[in-house]
């Protein structure tokens, strides 16, 4: 029995994928929600981003306190919150109620994904750690693409409420799997770890007094705001362009899934000696060019060019998160503050994902179409380039 059991670190990765399903469940549901609840485009933008509210407010604190609270306990709690919020959300009859539940789902999502790297580190040998953490970096792209691929089929049969209930069931099953498949938090190791570190109340001040964590956090926000803005509205854009519902899912899912290639490539390229700054410049350059080609009126009559541009946007841009997680280890003020630095980076990533979709939706609404949204993403990439130039040279 033990020989066929999935290793605990892989269960943790699957749990991250299951949490990412909740981030990806909304984009294919926007049209159904519009028909059922009368949701507007701007409300859809806020609904896409509200799931990041917890990350915006407590990412630093969760990163700081994860070892003390218990990594496995945190993940189990998060899965329970996701399941409950999604189950209640299926019964929602108003837009404000659904918006509130999306914010609660954000808390559950954060409780699942922030402890995951620490849990993986606890389960594997040092020589396998980089490989497993590289695999963990794919959880977002894989989970989002899986949701985008399956949602149209489920919604077509059960409606958006059935899709919400199905993901609640997935989270419940995942909770049970983590409970029985991942070793319990060791109170002894937790206390020992805490005594070897700087006092918890000092770690935020140490982290925030150093420029490195601020810079990589801002860069992550500039990346995540663009990625969710483009991926989140693709189903609606394709539907307006006349694509069939069953084709929209696979097309959008491929855009999200190909982001995984960039995530995996970042570790390989860094290992081969490519500098982080070069990878960051390349990633943002392709994101800017990709959105210009995808949304500019110059390519209005070339749908294949637009789709290829979105694929490049997602694939090459995918190197950015991997590089930033690598820099987080190098730029953390001390070994005691690595998890706090990652939590701060996650917090700014959530800020970017919260602000990006409503901004793009506002531009699209005011201009009467998607033709000028590339100005937003291009501007964000330009700001990112300016911030990258301020990163400490030794880290690059």
d(Cα 90, Cα 357) in Å, to the nearest integer?
23
The two structure tokens encoding residue 44: 């859809």
Per-residue pLDDT tens digits for 39-92: 887 787 777 767 667 677 767 776 666 656 777 988 999 999 999 999 999 998
Question: What's residue 396's pLDDT?
Answer: 63
Sign of CA dihedral 209, 213, 216, 220: negative
DSSP-derived 3-state class of residue 266: helix
CA pair distance 19, 170, nearest whole angstrom: 9
pLDDT of residue 120: 80
CA atoms of 20 and 143, how far apart (whole Å):
5
pLDDT for residue 278:
94
CA distance 97 to 99: 5
Threshold 0.85, pTM exceeds: no
pLDDT at position 119: 81
The predicted pLDDT at position 259 comes to: 87
The pLDDT value given to residue 82: 96
Q: What is the pLDDT of residues 8-39, one digit of tens each?
A: 989 999 999 999 999 888 878 888 888 888 88
Model pLDDT, residue 194: 46
Interval 4-10 mean pLDDT: 82
User: 335 pLDDT band (50/70/90 cuts)?
Assistant: low
Residue position matching structure tokens 């970042």: 266
Percentage of the chain beyond pLDDT 90 is 29
pLDDT at 188: 46
Determine the average pLDDT of the residues in 374-394: 90
pLDDT at 395: 58
Q: Which among 224, 210, 206 has a CA at the least distance from the CA of 64?
A: 206
Is 50 exceeded by the pLDDT of residue 189?
no
Rounded to the nearest 10 degrees, what angle do helices 245-257 and 303-317 cross at? 30
263, 138 contact by CB (below 8 A): yes
| Residue 164 in tokens | 């919400």
Map out the domains of the chain with their CATH numbers: 8-395 (1.20.1250.20)
Please give the torsion angle defined by the CA atoms of residues 345, 23, 42 and 107, in that order, rounded to the nearest 10 degrees. -60
Give per-residue pLDDT as tens, 101-135: 988 888 888 889 877 877 887 787 766 666 676 67
Mean pLDDT across the chain: 83
**DSSP-based three-state secondary structure for 244:** coil
Compute the distance between CA of residue 123 and CA of residue 104 in angstroms, rounded to an integer: 29
Residue 298: band (very low, low, confident or very high) from pLDDT cuts 50, 70, 90: confident
Q: What is the pLDDT of residue 191?
A: 43
**Taking residues 345-374, what's their average pLDDT?**
84
Distance CA 13, CA 120 (A): 8
pLDDT band at 348 (very low <50, low <70, confident <90, very high): very high
- CA proximity to 87, closest of 193, 162, 190, 3: 162
* CA 44 – CA 233 distance, rounded (Å): 9
With CA atoms as reference, report the closest residue to 7 among 15, 334, 114, 225: 15
Position 279 scores a pLDDT of 93
Q: Cβ atoms within 10 A of the Cβ of 334, count?
A: 14
Give Cβ neighbours of residue 188 (< 8 Å, ≥ 6 apart).
Answer: none
- Highest mean pLDDT: which of 105-119, 170-184, 301-315, 362-376? 170-184
Q: Which residue has the higher pLDDT, 231 or 16?
A: 16
């Amino acid at each position: 029995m033990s020989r066929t059991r999935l290793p605990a670190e892989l269960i943790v990765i699957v749990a991250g994928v299951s949490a990412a399903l909740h981030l990806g469940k909304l984009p294919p549901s926007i049209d159904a929600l519009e028909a059922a609840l009368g949701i507007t485009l701007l409300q859809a933008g806020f609904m896409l981003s509200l799931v990041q509210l917890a990350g915006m407010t407590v990412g630093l604190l969760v990163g700081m306190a994860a070892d003390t609270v218990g990594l496995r306990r945190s993940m189990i709690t998060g899965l329970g919150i996701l399941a409950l919020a999604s189950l209640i959300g299926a019964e929602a009859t108003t837009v404000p109620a659904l918006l509130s539940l999306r914010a609660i789902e954000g808390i559950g999502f954060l409780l699942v994904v922030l402890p995951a790297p620490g849990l993986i580190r606890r389960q594997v040998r040092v020589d396998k750690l980089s490989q497993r953490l590289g695999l963990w970096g794919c959880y977002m792209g894989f989970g989002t693409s899986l949701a985008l691929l399956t949602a149209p089929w489920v919604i077509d049969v059960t409606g958006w409420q059935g899709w919400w209930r199905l993901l609640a069931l997935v989270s419940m099953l995942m909770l049970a799997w983590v409970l029985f498949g991942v070793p319990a938090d060791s109170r002894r190791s937790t206390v020992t770890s805490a005594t070897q570190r700087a006092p918890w109340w000092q770690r935020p001040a140490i982290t925030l007094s150093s420029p490195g964590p601020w810079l990589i956090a801002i860069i992550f926000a500039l990346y995540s705001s663009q990625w969710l803005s483009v991926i989140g509205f693709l189903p609606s854009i394709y539907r307006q362009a006349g694509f069939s519902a069953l084709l929209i899912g696979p097309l959008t899912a491929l855009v999200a899934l190909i982001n995984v290639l960039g995530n995996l490539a970042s570790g390989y390229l860094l290992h081969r000696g490519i500098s982080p700054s070069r990878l960051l410049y390349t990633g943002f350059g392709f994101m800017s060019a990709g959105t210009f080609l995808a949304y500019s009126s110059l390519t209005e009559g070339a749908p294949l060019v637009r789709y290829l541009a979105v694929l490049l946007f997602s694939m090459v841009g995918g190197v950015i998160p991997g590089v930033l997680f690598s820099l987080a280890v190098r730029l953390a003020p001390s070994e005691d503050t690595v998890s706090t630095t990652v939590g701060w980076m996650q917090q700014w990533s959530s800020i970017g994902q919260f602000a990006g979709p409503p901004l793009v939706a506002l531009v699209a609404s005011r201009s009467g179409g998607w033709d000028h949204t590339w100005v937003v993403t291009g501007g964000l990439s330009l700001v990112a380039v300016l911030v990258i130039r301020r990163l400490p040279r030794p880290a690059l």
